Amino acid sequence: MKPTAIYQFFSILRAANPQPQTELHYASVFELLAAVLLSAQATDVGVNKATARLFGVANTPEKIIHLGLEGLEQHIKTIGLYRSKARHLMQTCHILMDQHGGQVPRSREALEALPGVGRKTANVVLNVAFGEATMAVDTHLFRLGNRTGLAPGATPLAVEHKLLKRIPAEFLVDAHHWLILHGRYVCQARKPLCGQCAVFDCCGFKDKQR
């Protein structure tokens, strides 16, 4: 995609959704961190159902520690890989209490040092909670980066770096949300809904279909 097409691409997405938000439910930075940690290989809908149960009784690191690992597992057992996720979340809560005064740190290094928190999760927290222009490359962003020609790359990190370089600054803070939502509901993995796509005319994928 050429710079003019990229600008048009995001202008259209912004016009349709001026203030995009994550579909995960949260009421604090810690709840966001916990929800994102639990969301790996799970749907936002499924995570929201589990966190509604969990956050109703334990929505801080201290309260989750008091809940105990078995109690935590019972609240999130509807989510895939819940045992390993519960263990990581419990370990994270202990680190937050012991090293960060119960607060979620806002540095990438400190976030990625937490169990179960990788680069993608850290990027989500930095973007959604702290307003930083990061790009959390999940399966949707990786697919869109390559399919549209916006940011082709062989790895999520390569796509992330290209997205940050190619997306105009005025769109960067919200671009992660627009791309996830577009990938989730329109530019789907098996069969992209090109006939319903508002940005089809500026997408490189149409050229591949000719």
pLDDT at 210 over 50: no
Catalytic residues: 120, 138
pLDDT at 123 over 90: yes
What's the whole-number mean pLDDT along residues 16-43?
A: 94
3-state secondary structure at position 104: coil
pLDDT at 41: 85
Confidence category of residue 204, pLDDT binned at 50, 70, 90: confident
pLDDT at 209 over 60: no
pLDDT at 7: 96
Note whether 118 and 41 are within 8 A (CB).
Answer: no
Can you tell me the distance from the alpha carbon of 172 to that of 86, in angstroms, rounded to the nearest whole number? 32
Note whether 51 and 31 are within 8 A (CB).
Answer: yes
Percent of the chain with pLDDT over 90: 92
pLDDT at 29: 97
Domains, the chain, in order of start with CATH, read 3-20+134-208 (1.10.1670.10), 29-128 (1.10.340.30)
What are 79-110's pLDDT values in tens digits?
989 999 999 999 999 999 999 999 999 999 99
In 3D, which of 189, 151, 171 has the Cα closest to residue 7?
171
Note whether 145 and 157 are within 8 A (CB).
Answer: no
What are 51-80's pLDDT values in tens digits?
999 999 999 999 999 999 999 999 999 998
Range 145-148, long-range pairs (CB < 8 A, 24+ positions): 147/187, 147/192, 147/204, 147/205, 148/1, 148/9, 148/187, 148/203, 148/204, 148/205
What's the whole-number mean pLDDT along residues 39-62?
A: 94
What's the whole-number mean pLDDT along residues 5-22?
A: 95
What are 148-195's pLDDT values in tens digits?
999 999 999 999 999 999 999 999 999 999 999 999 999 999 999 999
